């Protein structure tokens, strides 16, 4: 297990989008330049520990999740739980449509 800067950036981007925040807004909250934040999401720049802590607090996730992608059920935030429930509901609806087509 290791820190993959690109995957970490993708997780941060996904969390931002789920929170319906712009890059400008997150950069402002973190008191950093938007272009620097953009490079973090693009996986071209890493974060300091302090910045990771701020991001984890902002998005209500663990550092393990941001850095390594590890997520235990206990640490899954409300947004993650809601997304999983929505995905399951959509899958059930698709399966019902499929079964009704026969």
Q: What is the pLDDT of residues 26-54, one digit of tens each?
A: 999 999 999 999 999 999 999 999 999 99
pLDDT at 72: 60
Q: Which residue do the tokens 């929170």 mark?
A: 19
Write out pLDDT tens, residues 58-91. Answer: 999 999 999 998 876 555 566 677 778 888 888 9
The reported pTM is 0.70
pLDDT at 9: 97
pLDDT at 73: 54
Q: Please list the alpha-helical segments (H only) found in 1-102.
A: 5-18, 23-30, 34-41, 49-59, 63-68, 78-100
Cα separations (Å) of 68 from 1, 43, 52, 88, 91? 7, 14, 12, 25, 28
Write out pLDDT tens, residues 3-29. Answer: 999 999 999 999 999 999 999 999 999
What the block records as the tokens of 41 is 């999401």
Cα separations (Å) of 65 from 34, 60, 80? 23, 10, 12
Does residue 101 register a pLDDT over 70?
A: yes
Cα separations (Å) of 24 from 4, 6, 34, 41, 54? 24, 20, 6, 12, 16
């Amino acid at each position: 297990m290791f820190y993959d800067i690109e995957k970490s950036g993708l997780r941060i981007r996904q969390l931002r989008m789920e929170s319906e925040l712009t890059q400008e807004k997150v950069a402002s909250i973190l008191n950093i330049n938007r272009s620097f934040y953009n490079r973090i999401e693009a996986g071209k720049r890493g974060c300091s520990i302090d910045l990771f802590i701020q991001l984890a607090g902002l998005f209500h996730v663990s550092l393990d999740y941001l850095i390594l992608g590890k997520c235990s059920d206990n640490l899954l935030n409300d947004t993650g739980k809601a997304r999983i429930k929505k995905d399951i509901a959509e899958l059930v609806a698709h399966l019902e449509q499929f079964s009704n087509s026969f």
